[in-house]
A and B are shown apart, each in its own frame.
Chain A
Amino acid sequence: MLDSAGADFIPLTIDSYTRQNQYDIAAELLERSEEKQSSFLNGYPLVVHGWELTRELYRDLNKPVSLRHGTPDARLLVEVALASGIAEIEGGGLCYCIPYSEGFPLDRCLLYWQYVDRICAVHSTDEAPIHRESFGPLTATMVPPAIALAVQVVEALLAAEQGVLSFAASFGQTGSTIQDIATARVLRTLIRRYLDRFDFGHVRSYLVFHQWMGQFPTERSKAAALIACAAQNACVIGADKIVVKTVDEALGVPDPEVNADAVESVRYVFDRFRWVEPVTSTSIEAEIDLIESETVGILEAIFDLPGDVFWESVHRAFQTGLIDVPYSPHADNANRLVSMRDANGSIRIKDPGHVPISEGDLKREHGLLALREDLDGADPSFRRLLHDIGIMA
């Protein structure tokens, strides 16, 4: 159905037991689902179904299938996916651990994703590469662009080190159009710059935009407006791919018709509203400058950390709070960084914690925040934070 609605790729979402490597429970629930003719699983149990059945399922489809899961140890899952003919693998050692897991040790996750990157590389050819895609929205809750971008560049480098030839960086709609435009611009520039700098110039890079991943409005009319605006932003930034939400997002897993409607409405926006010239303004340029400066600062600090191999430096960056993802459930996340929205809805760093934000950049962040604080008066900041998190709901 997504196919006929005009989707360019078909997402395959994996059930949560398979994500936790509990294949036996997934098998049991699949059996029960087949008996009772009703689904007890919240996704596709790829490992249990196996590659032959899955390959058959997608045989007549000539569009790429994209594996979406959230699995810290995805070695077997990705092996089965590749055997099934799936050529787009989402995830990464950071982005599928910090936002998804409470206790999975990050160093183990980085090693498991090193394996995934490597098998993707091994099964790639220049003509038919296996695409690796990171998951930039992370917790999708008040993540400052610099943190998301640093994670994207790190994962691009980790993948390239293992021989991946095609890598898509992504980020989630921030809630501010200015910040969306700036984030996309910096992300494109930096992914290319760092891949080139470390002799990975041959790696192709793409940009993926995730529509609003936070709390969605429950009213369908508002949800539809949010989806259309997100599609518009995807046009403006020239995203290579957009991941679409539905008007029923707030209610849970949508049915196929609603999914198809969402794709159709986004397709409508793409066809009617075209952007040729890059959109810019002084505040966009200022935002670009700030995000780039911060991201470069974080990345250079990670490169400077001791370690015989790169993933060790990345692991240490997480342990020491250089990478700090707001609202992560992970027990080892530093949770020192505090973010807040400014007057135009952009996510600002109020307290960087141990994230290496330069004094000058922090001053700029605070300057932009101050404009908002004038507006809000004496409201304690936790109330404003609650408002900021649920800004679209």
Chain B
Amino acid sequence: MSPTRARETDSPPARVAIDIGSTVIKVAELDGDGALLNQDLCPRDYEIGIKAQVETILETYKPNMEVVACSSANGGLRVGIICLTKGFSGAVMRNQVLSAGANPIFVRDLDEVDNAFAPVDILLVGGGIDCPDAAPLETRLARFDPSAHRFGSLIYAGNGHLSQAFLRRFQNAVVVDNPIADSLRGPRDTVANALRRAYLDDLVYKEGVSELAGRVSGPIRATPEIVSQGFYRAVSNRSALMVITPCLLLDIGGATTDVHYTVEVVRDESVVRPPAGLSVARYVFTDLGISASLDTALLQLRTHPRLYEFLSRVVDDDVREVYRLLREGEYDPPPDLLAYACLFLALDRFAHGRGAGLATADFGRVAQIVLTGGAAQLLDEQVVSRVTALVLPDRRTQPPPTLIDRSYRIWTEGMS
């Protein structure tokens, strides 16, 4: 008998889970316990549009079946963050953007001058605790000039006492409750919740994903958030997947490479600390991917000082020739090589904390590397281990074992 009395008893009904990606739509039928009955991959049909295609797919299932959906189309929601300080309000907003499955593109202080802001779907402005005595934020907001930015929607998530003033200046802005409320600790999920609703609230229009609202129960969530939930189940011994922790999970996609990790892999000396109160965290490399982000990934690979070492572990024959052609920009790498490249670049940057807001990992502590997503299906466990060995600290000779999620279990379990 378990000491826990109050169980969440109403287990969900059988349902269809859909993942709308840029190139494929993934469909899975789940039973009441969330177990996978069957699944299917359908290439996207841009002629008929997303709504019609999903309806066609659903015709093969019982009409009354519940449908849950997530989307990673266009590589996810791009969010720019403008904050009072990067250590507090900026970090809290960034972590919430990540936990909602969206992509923080930049984090800037309100006073930071930069002429090269990348375009974003949502510009998030915040800072300060909820407090009427708010001079530092007030003076900075007065100087804030949004015309320097290219964005779809504007969200204010700062000191609640200044939200009316913000709305007077920017009538189209959306105001959400201050995530740090009146203390620096114990953040509220207000920003994450706003982003979760974003597709349906029409804050962003991602090729008509919001048109699906009527057919889908619950919000259409971002795929990385689903993967993150599946990962949490896996590391909590509550998955069909046998995962050994501490570990990290990589999801290599067309536009981005996501890393989800148990926070024990972070070095004690890491300047960036994982978000408070969480045991798993996510980071997204928005410049690593095998299709939409091919150019940026390739550029990094070509100029990487350990390119030759990397190639010698991945390419079967004529490493010198591949190396030469790659360096000269005359080589069109196959998708599997690109996926290994994203894996290598992501691990290498994680090992050195090279990325804004990225913690530094200690690969000496990693007990397993898990790979999921479409690109992972192209990979071989032994080659992955050889690539992983490149980022190990000197004291460790054996790379951690690799587990490739060949039946998208992480995603399925995240959906259930």
Contact = CB atoms under 8 A, between A and B. Distances in A.
A100 interface: no
Nearest to B394: A24
A157 B1 CA distance: 10
Interface string A282-317: 000000000000000000000111111110110000
Contact of A332 (B4, B237, B268, B277): B277
A199 B1 contact: yes
B4 A307 contact: yes
Given A319-B277, A332-B276, A309 B264 contact: no
A329 to B, nearest CB: 14
Given A21-B365, A24-B395, A108 B8 contact: no
B48 interface: no
Contacts of B238: 308-309
B393 to A, nearest CB: 9
Contacts of B5: 303-304
A104 interface: yes
Interface string B279-292: 10000000000000
A105 B279 contact: yes
Nearest to A331: B276
B242 to A, nearest CB: 13
B7 interface: yes
Contacts of A308: 4, 7-8, 238
A307 B4 CA distance: 7
Nearest to A104: B264
Interface in A81-114: 103-108, 111, 114
B334 interface: no
Contact of B2 (A105, A161, A331): A161
B3 A303 contact: yes
Contacts of A313: 3-4
Contact of A107 (B4, B279, B365): B279
A179 B235 CA distance: 41
Contact of B237 (A111, A161, A194): A111
B87 to A, nearest CB: 15
Interface residues of A, number: 30
B251 to A, nearest CB: 21
Given A73-B264, A111-B237, A308-B8, A198 B273 contact: no
A96 to B, nearest CB: 14
A73 B264 CA distance: 10
B262 interface: yes
A107 B2 contact: no
Contact of B273 (A103, A104, A114, A306): A103
A13 B1 CA distance: 35
Interface string A176-209: 0000000000000000001000110000000000
Nearest to B268: A20
Interface residues of B, number: 26
B263 interface: yes
Given A24-B364, A108-B245, A303 B4 contact: yes
Q: Which of A104, A108, A194 is most buried by chain B, counting CB atoms within 10 A of its CB?
A: A108
A305 B5 CA distance: 8
B67 to A, nearest CB: 24
A74 to B, nearest CB: 13
Given A331-B276, A332-B276, A108 B262 contact: yes
A105 B5 CA distance: 24
A331 B237 CA distance: 25
B264 A198 contact: no
Interface in B342-397: 364-365, 395
Contacts, number: 68
Interface in B235-280: 235-238, 245, 262-264, 268, 273-274, 276-279
A308 B238 CA distance: 10
Given A103-B273, A306-B8, A308-B7, A108 B2 contact: no
B142 interface: no
Q: Which of A73, A105, A157, A319 is most buried by chain B, counting CB atoms within 10 A of its CB?
A: A105
B236 A107 contact: yes
Q: Which of B4, B262, B273, B277 is most buried by chain A, counting CB atoms within 10 A of its CB?
A: B4
A310 B262 CA distance: 21
A241 B16 CA distance: 58
B6 interface: yes
Nearest to A305: B6
Given A21-B365, A332-B276, A332-B277, A108 B6 contact: no
B277 to A, nearest CB: 5
A312 B262 CA distance: 17
A309 B4 contact: yes
Contact of A312 (B4, B235, B264, B276): B4
B278 A105 contact: yes
B6 A157 contact: no
Contacts of A310: 2-4
A104 B245 CA distance: 13
Contacts of A114: 237
Contacts of A305: 4, 6
A122 B395 CA distance: 32
Contacts of B1: 198-199
Q: Which of A20, A106, A199, A306 is most buried by chain B, counting CB atoms within 10 A of its CB?
A: A306
A12 B6 CA distance: 40
A305 B365 CA distance: 33
Interface string B114-136: 00000000000000000000000
A310 B238 CA distance: 13
A209 B104 CA distance: 52
Contact of A306 (B6, B268, B277): B6
A331 B364 CA distance: 24
A303 B236 CA distance: 20
Contacts of A161: 2-3
Contact of A108 (B264, B364, B365): B264
B371 to A, nearest CB: 22
A161 B4 CA distance: 11
A199 B1 CA distance: 6
A198 B2 contact: yes
A111 B245 CA distance: 10
A210 B306 CA distance: 56
Given A161-B3, A313-B3, 20 more contacts: A21-B365, A24-B364, A104-B264, A105-B263, A105-B264, A107-B236, A107-B279, A108-B263, A108-B279, A111-B235, A111-B245, A194-B3, A198-B3, A303-B3, A304-B6, A305-B4, A308-B238, A309-B4, A331-B276, A332-B277
Interface of B: 1-8, 235-238, 245, 262-264, 268, 273-274, 276-279, 364-365, 395
Top 9 A-B residue pairs of the complex, sorted by shortest distance between their CB atoms: A105-B279, A24-B395, A310-B4, A313-B4, A198-B1, A310-B3, A199-B1, A108-B279, A107-B279
5 contacts: A108-B235, A108-B264, A161-B2, A308-B4, A308-B238
